[in-house]
Structure 1
Amino acid sequence: MNAQPTQQDVAAMAGVNKSTVSRVLRGRRDVAVATRRRVLDAAKQLGYRLDPALSRIAAMRWRKQHMHAGNRIAFVESERSADHERYWRGVSRQADPLGYGVDRFCLDDYHSVASVGSILLTRGVKLVVLAGFPSASALVGFPTQSFLAVHCGPTEPGFPFSSVMMDLPRVLSEVWTTVRRAGLVRIGLVQYHYCESHYRSLQLAGTYRALQALASDPVVPTLQIHDKAPGAAMRAQAAGWLRETAPDLIIVGCDLASEPFVELRERGLAIPPLVSLATDPEATGIAGYTRGLGELGALAVRQLHLNYLAGEHVAARSMNSLVEPTWQDDHLLSSSIATWIDQHPPPERLIA
C-alpha cells in the first residue's frame, strides 16, 4: 500500500472503478446512494485526501471540455443491447466527419434518464441521440426543452423529438406483393411486443388489414406474441395459431417473433416460409429486409446536425425520417416458397 492512498486504492476497497470514486469525491449525485456511502467509508478508512494540485488540474480540464461542449453529442441508451450497439457504431462513424465527439450514456449505469439529463446540462452538452425511449413517458424527468435530440427507432404520438426509423409499412406492402405473385394467399402476420412500439404495431396491423381487403384474400388473424411470455408458452401459442389459421407464409415483425416458429421447426413441425420485416445480417434461415441499424444511427447524427444548424427552435418540432430497408436474401425467399408449394399442393394449402 502506498504511503499516500490513491483513488485506485479507494476503488479497490469499495469494489468499484476509479471513475466512480472520482465522481463521488467530487460530490456528484449520479451515483447510487449505497455505492456513494461505500466509497466514502473506504476513503475514510484509508485516510484518503484530495490532492489540491490535482484538483486544480482537473478543474482546468473540465473548463476546457465545457468550452467545447457544443461540439459533442451524447448517445443515451435505455439499456445495453445488440441493436443499440449497432446504433452506436453508426453514430460514431458519422459524428467524426461532421466534427463532433461522442459520449455514451447507458441507463444501466445511472439512476434514471433524469440524472443523465442533469449530467449533460452540467457539461453543457446540447445535442443528444436517443435509443430505446419510444414514448414521452419514457423521458419523464429529462429536461427536453434544454436539448436538441433525435431518437433512433419508432416513437409514439406526442414524442417531443424527431426520430429516424425504418419504413416498415412500405416493407410489408412489398413483401405482400412478392408472395402474392408467387401464388400464396393465406399470409399471416406475427408481431412481437418487445420489437415494436404500440403505435408502430397498430400501423403494421392496419397496413396488413388493408392489404387483405384490397386483395380479397382469406383473413388470417394477426398473432401477437408478448416478450414476457416463457418460451414454452410462446411455442404453444404459435402452434395453436398455425393449426387454426393454416398460413401459406408467415411475415414476422422482427427476428424475435420468428423464434418460436424456428424452434417448432427444429422439433419436427412443418412451418411455412418465414419472412422478417426487420432482420439482422447475421440471422440465418430467414429471408427478410435488413434493418440497417447502423445507417439509422448515422442518419440520426445527420438529422441532429441539420437541426443544430437550423437553430434551437427546431427542438420543439418533431420530424420523422424514414429509411428504406434493403432486401437481404431474395433467393432464400424464392426457394423456401417453392419448396413449401411443392410439399403442400393447393388443396392442402388453401383451406376454406
Structure 2
Amino acid sequence: MTRLARPGGSPPTPRSVDVARLAGVSQKTVSRVLNDEQYVSADVRRRVLDAAAELGYRRNQAARALASGRTRSIGVVTLGSALYGPASWLMGIERAVREVGYTLRVAATIEGDPGGIASALTSLLGQGVDGVVISEPIDEGVGLISVDVPVLVLGAPPTFAAPQVVTARVGAGRLARAAT
C-alpha cells in the first residue's frame, strides 16, 4: 500500500521508535535496516520493513540532516525559463538525483542580472545543499565566486573557488552523465 498523506484527524506521523516497537527490535536496528547496512538477518530486515510499511513510516529528512550534517540535496542554478532545453535539463537532473536518494533545490535567475548567480548560490547554500549544478549560460562580468561545496558547471563557467569544480561543455548526453 502506498500512503502519501494523512487524512484529517488521523494519528501523528509514525516515528522510527514506533517501527521498532511493532517489529520487536531496537531503534538502532531499525536505523541499520533503513540505511541498508549489513549484519542484519533477513528475518529481522523483513520484520522491520513490514512494520514500516504497515505504519506508513517515512524517513524524516530534516532529522537525518541534523544528525549527519548533510541534507542529501543538490542545488541547481538555472536561467528562469520555461523553454524546452533548460526545462528538460532540469527534469533530467531531478530524476538522476532522486534515483540516488537526493532531492533537488532550484534557484532561478533573471536574464541580464549580473548578481543573479551569486544571489541564487547564496540562497541554495543557505538551504544547506551538498553540491551545486550551474546550468545557466554565464554572462560577462561575473567575478570570482567562492563556495564551500562541489560545483558542476554545464557550459562556460565563471571562475569558481570550490573544493571541486567539474565543467561539462560538450554534448547533451555527456552533460546529463556529468550532472549525475
Structure with higher Rg: it is 1
Question: What is the TM-score when the length of structure 2 is the normalising length?
Answer: 0.49
Question: What is the TM-score when the length of structure 1 is the normalising length?
Answer: 0.27
Larger helix share, 1 or 2: 1
